[in-house]
Amino acid sequence: MKTIYDFTVKDREGNDVSLSAYQGKVLLIVNTATGCGFTPHYDPLEAMYKDLRDKGFEILDFPSNQFNNQAPGTDEEIHDFCTIHFGTDFPQFAKIDVNGETASPLFAFLATEKPFEGFGKGLKSVALNKFAGMNNKKFGDKAYIKWNFTKFLVDREGKVVARFEPTVDMKDVRSAVEEMLG
């Protein structure tokens, strides 16, 4: 059975990183953007990372510019923005595509393991459905990720156990992570 440990990704400097380096840890894998309405998610993500990393928790940040060009900078510019404005300290990888023919195999796998089930209810969800629908038409059946700040929770064995759309309250994401950590 395939796990996330079977994947290799690029770090910000373009070096290969095997995700097997994170074996035995609880992971939250996130596609991010610096110019998105959900960019403030960096604050609770960083707080969670600071509080829980000593318990075997890691956040893996993958910037993507596929949603209304909301991450247009270079890897270094994106990293500088995140560290200056949000004090992020968790690993940030090279900018990737999460949808279409050029989608990262990691994100295609994550989304296949935990497919999109909707944005939930409420005004944010209604608005996001409209924007995501227009954006993702160009990717067809390879529209794996519907918007920035989609989060995947991975257990200590490398299995994808949950998917959180950006509309999910970050307190609920944290609760799921804490439960997974035991």
36 is catalytic: yes
Residue 93 DSSP code: B
- DSSP letter for each residue of 114-144: S------SSHHHHHHHHHHHHHHGGGGGG--
> What's the rounded Cα separation, in Å, for the pair 27 and 70?
24
Dihedral sign of CA atoms 102, 95, 162, 171 in order: negative
Write down the catalytic residue from 17, 36, 108, 168.
Answer: 36
Q: List residues with catalytic annotation.
A: 36
